[in-house]
Amino acid sequence: MGEYFSVVSLSNCSLNRYPDNSNSKFKHILPKKISINPNTTYLIKLKSVSIAFNLKRSANKIGFFKIHLEELTPRFSLDETNERNCISKIPAPKNQKFAKGAKGKRYISNANTPLGQKVLDKSAYHYSFRTPPAFTFAPEKPEITELSYIITDEENNQLQLKPGFPTVICIEIVEMTSTHQQFMFSISPTRDYKLFPDNTFSSFKVSLPSETILPLGEWEVAVHSIIVPKHIRITPNNEDDSVDFIALYADFVEESIIGNAKTSFLEILSVKDIKLNETSSSHIYYIENLTFHTLSKEKLRNMQFDLRGLDGKPIQIECVTQKCETLRRIFEAVPRFTGFNEETLKNYESQRDKVMAIEINLMFRRKFII
């Protein structure tokens, strides 16, 4: 194993130098600089986070929040702006409730929390990963003297938190070696919409920034997590059918057996677990036990993905917003409504679908061969 560093950052540990530090935006001055090799690739892993979930009165319920680290930019990223330094996305506490009080609203948690989540007290929330997300990065400087964190909501707005329990973030920085290589990659139907205009929410292609060569038989991939934005729902092809599970297929993994067929699938997902038909807020779901599949291709550039039922039949996944439903009702009731027609609705839906889509995070790793 190569170089290894573990850092625990607290939002209140560098107030002497940075008095404006808050629980959602802070800088941590390291007591000792971390020397790293600019010519080497490193992995950064978020192990856990503890955060005071005292949301301000103006805050809205959220499905997940993001941890951004300004000094470290992941090497593999499709986003060119706000997502490039996002090192992790954390599920928000379950059953968020707000109680009015003399000092505004305060988060009250439910005692029954999902796996990996713990409630430290009524306003502190802890999340630790069973399999931490790991992003590769190439350092721009030979040393790290401080870490700058920003915690945002799904739309990259800084999380509005009241003062309280200090935020605690635990990360690991690990040197990539021949026996310890992995990277994360995010896919979505809308990421390469211009390159692949025929993409749908359930059948789409994505393109890597450049052709990646992974020696055949030495690399494997698994679904690490899935993000489902609100207003996404699944529609069975037959009104009498219901879809409880969906299978994610990819054209670059070796075939496996599903029922009586051999197919190249990545993961079977529960519609209930990933909250595909819920519309109250966005959701992020982490796979509890990762299932890795050997790659069937050595050169990766364009990759095809399909979401289908367990019977292999195509399914329809669509995005429906309240505004769009309201416009549809108006059009049906008053076809000649001034300033509105069916083409306007289609244009609105087209623009909306380009923004809101499922995001699937993949973990690639090199096999450990004895």
Six token digits for residue 154: 């799904």
Last residue of a domain, one of 175, 192, 224: 175
Residues 84 and 110 in one domain: yes
In a domain, 338, yes or no: no
Looking at the structure of the chain, the number of domains it has is 2
Over residues 19-68, the pLDDT tens digits come to: 999 999 999 999 988 888 878 888 889 999 998 877 765 556 778 899 99
Torsion of CA 247, 250, 251, 256, to 10 degrees: -50
Sign of CA dihedral 55, 60, 65, 67: negative
In a domain, 340, yes or no: no
Q: How confident is the model at residue 119 (pLDDT cuts 50, 70, 90)?
A: very low
d(CA 345, CA 329): 11
In a domain, 80, yes or no: yes
Q: Which domain holds residue 283?
A: 184-318+353-366
Six token digits for residue 122: 């009524």
Contacts of 319 (CB under 8 A, 6+ apart): 201, 229, 231, 232, 233, 352, 353, 356, 357
Residues 190 and 167 in one domain: no
Kindly report the CA angle at 200 between 219 and 301, in degrees rounded to 5?
Answer: 30
In a domain, 341, yes or no: no
Residues 295 and 239 in one domain: yes
Tokens 């087209």 sit at which residue? 350
Last residue of a domain, one of 143, 175, 207: 175
Residues 9 and 158 in one domain: yes
Over residues 151-175, the pLDDT tens digits come to: 998 888 898 887 778 999 999 998 8
Q: How far apart are the first and last CA of the chain?
A: 15
Q: How confident is the model at residue 306 (pLDDT cuts 50, 70, 90)?
A: very high
Six token digits for residue 1: 């194993």
In a domain, 63, yes or no: yes
Other Cβ atoms within 10 Å of 100 Cβ, number: 9
**CATH code assigned at 157:** 2.60.120
The predicted model scores a pTM of 0.76
Tokens 């990766």 sit at which residue? 300
**CATH code assigned at 273:** 2.60.120.1100
Residues 166 and 189 in one domain: no
Query: What is the length of the chain?
Result: 370
- The predicted structure's pLDDT at residue 313: 82
